[in-house]
Amino acid sequence: MKVLVVDDEKHIRDSLKRFMELEGIEVVCAENGLSGKRLLEREVFAACVVDLKMPGISGLELLRWIRNEGLRTPVIMISAYGEINDAVGAM
Partner 1 sequence: MVFDIGTSLRQDIPLEEAVGNNVLGFGVYDSQGKTMQRWGSAPQTVPLIMEREMWESHFSFNKDEKTLVLMKEVGMHPDPRKPPPGEKNLLHEKEEDFSKSAKMPTDRASPTFSDERIPRHERPRFFYLEMSTQAYWKKERMLSFTLFGLLSFLAGAMILIQHIYKKNREYKKKLEQQKQLVHLGEAARTLSHEIKNPLSIIRVRTGILKKLSTEETAEDLKIIEEEIDRLRLLTQRVGEFIKNPQGEPETIELDQFTKDILTRFSSRIHYENHCTEKCFVVFDRERLRSAIENLINNAIESDLNNRDIAVHLSSTKDRVTISILDNGKGIPPEIQEVVFDPFFTTKTNGSGIGLSITRRFVEAVGGTITLIPRHPGGIEAKIILRRKKG
In sequence order, what are the residues at sequence separation of 6 or more whose Cβ sits closer than 8 angstroms to the Cβ of residue 42?
Answer: none
* Given 19, 56, 74, 76, the residue binding partner 1 (CB under 8 A): 19
| Helix axes 33-42 and 59-68, enclosed angle (nearest 10) | 20
Instruction: With beta carbons less than 8 A apart as the criterion, state whether 6 and 38 touch.
Output: no
Residue 15 or residue 41: which is nearer to partner 1 going by CB? Answer: 15
CB of 58 to partner 1, least distance (A): 15
Q: Does 16 bind partner 1 (CB under 8 A)?
A: yes
1 near partner 1, rule: CB under 8 A: no
**Alpha-carbon distance 89 to 14, whole Å?**
27
For partner 1, the binding residues in 26-85 under the rule CB under 8 A are 78, 80-82
Could you give the CA distance from residue 21 to residue 32 in angstroms, rounded to a whole number? 21
Q: Indicate the residue among 70 and 82 with the shorter CB distance to partner 1.
A: 82
18: contact with partner 1 by CB under 8 A: yes
| Binding-residue total with partner 1 (CB under 8 A) | 12
